[in-house]
Amino acid sequence: IDLVETKAFSDHYSYRQDYINALINEGKHLSIDAYITTAKDAVKLGGVRFRKPCFVAVAETVIDNVEEFRRLVSSFDAGVNR
């Protein structure tokens, strides 16, 4: 995947069709083939339409060292509950 442009939005951003249309128009000049969004934001895009595909990037957290993670969480919890 070659990213040609990125946009950051504030948390709880309310996506409207007029803003999506502006992204689409901007994309015409950048030769955009598709859009990518987070799963969190995809839920809020249900009412808007894109002229090109809009893919959802899903992230998964993997904990390599479970014991170390538990120790860290326990030490944090102990500090909070003092």
Residue range 29-65, pLDDT digits in tens: 888 889 999 998 998 898 899 989 999 999 899 999 9
List the structure tokens of 4.
Answer: 């040609």
Total-model pTM: 0.67
Helix, strand, coil distribution of the chain in percent, nearest 5: 45, 10, 45
Give start and end residues of each alpha helix (H) in the chain.
Answer: 17-30, 39-42, 66-80
Q: How far is CA 69 from the centre of its chain?
A: 25
Cα distance from N-terminal residue to C-terminal residue, the chain: 48
Task: Give the pLDDT confidence score for residue 67 in this predicted structure.
Answer: 95
Mean pLDDT of the chain: 87
